[in-house]
Amino acid sequence: MSKVRAYTNIALIKYWGKSDSLWNLPTTGSIGLTLDQLYTETSVKINDDLKQDYFMLNGQKTQNLKVMKVMNFLRNLTGDRRFVEIFSENHVPTAAGLASSASGFAALAMAASQAFGLSLDRKELSTIARLGSGSASRSVFGGFSIWHAGHDHDSSFAESILDPLNFDIRVIDILADESTKKISSSQGMQLAQSAPNYAAWCSNSQKQIDDMLTAIANSDLEKIGLIAEKNALAMHELNRTAIQAFDYFTQNTRDIIAATKKLYNSGTLAFATIDAGPNVKVITNSENQSTVIETLKNYGEILVQKAGPGVTNV
Ligand code: PMV
């Protein structure tokens, strides 16, 4: 039984809406950067005696519908109806709850397909990871990757843009306390799709993908950061203008964004991005890292990440 490791990724152009929730097809393409600190290790073994899948997450028996969805897909694909034991551990080097579905489903896609004797290429693995969690499609790859929206299971895949990187990038997590009521990403995106500007956000996102690809090709960290920040802030504005409006931001989130903008305006490369929660990640480089940390360390625990690798056997 082989063990597989996958790392989390941060979206620079966000996935925020589905055109098909059964197959997890997104309304837009997205771009992510796989990081090097937070990962999931998973092993999967077929067990002839089981009457259903057995899933242990961090030492606890867990029921997870998305895991079942991935396993059922693989059983249908192979015609092998047997059930599996899944052992999965999230490796999170800090106290904060940073466990990620992206690393989890990228690892599961590879470990489970290997358990069924399949040797799939990364593109195929990304489609299977996507069934569990859209953002997981990008964690199959190291460095920068793009997930193409597509229109069906096979056309909605991720691929590598650049790995390894030929320039220096750091992503600084400022881990504040997650005291606000949680709205899952699936719930959040469903609500956001009712925002009056949703269609505009989607078409703008396509343009931002093109600009981001150019910025990555030019190793232009400032452009990468500016586009990512704009895309993320507009995503959160959708939430605040949805018919059932909601907001992941806390006062701390707003303070960190303001402090990051102040840093940029005074000549430090620092750009904020925020996913489906209150925590801010700041995009910077090694040269500017200490200034960023010095300014933001009072807002929460700091975790510095670099570009990380794609999914692999360990
Ligand atoms: O993959 P999901 O269903 O957890 O959704 C991820 C949503 C965001 O993290 C906010 C954006 C993204 O593209 O990762």
pLDDT of residue 97: 52
Ligand 1 atom with the shortest distance to the CA of 102: 1
Mutate to test the pocket of ligand 1, among 20, 135, 138 (most ligand atoms within 8 A of CB): 135
pLDDT of residue 178: 62
Provide the total of helices (H) and of strands (E) in the chain, helices listed first.
9, 14
Q: Name the residue with the closest Cα to ligand 1, atom 10.
A: 275
pLDDT of residue 54: 98
Sequence-ordered list of residues with C-beta below 8 angstroms from that of 237, at least 6 positions apart, any chain: 195, 197
H-run or E-run covering 137: helix 136-139
Q: Sign of the C-alpha dihedral, residues 104, 105, 107, 108?
A: positive
Ligand 1 atom with the shortest distance to the CA of 276: 10
pLDDT of residue 220: 98
pTM: 0.96
- What spacing in Å lies between the alpha carbon of 26 and ligand 1's midpoint? 10
Ligand 1 atom with the shortest distance to the CA of 134: 1
* Burial group, residue 121, by CB count within 10 angstroms (0-12, 13-18, 19+): exposed
pLDDT of residue 21: 96
- What spacing in Å lies between the alpha carbon of 275 and ligand 1's midpoint? 7
Which residues of the chain are modeled with pLDDT < 70? Answer: 93-99, 177-181
Ligand 1 atom with the shortest distance to the CA of 10: 14
- What spacing in Å lies between the alpha carbon of 132 and ligand 1's midpoint? 11
Tell me the pLDDT tens digit for each residue of 113-127.
999 999 999 999 999
15 lines ligand 1 (CB under 6 A): yes
Under 8 Å between Cβ of 253 and 176: yes
101 lines ligand 1 (CB under 6 A): yes
pLDDT of residue 95: 45
Tell me the pLDDT tens digit for each residue of 162-178.
999 999 999 999 998 66
- What spacing in Å lies between the alpha carbon of 134 and ligand 1's midpoint? 6
Q: Which residue has the tokens 């991005």?
A: 273
- What spacing in Å lies between the alpha carbon of 218 and ligand 1's midpoint? 26
The rounded distance, in Å, linking the Cα atoms of 38 and 135 is 15
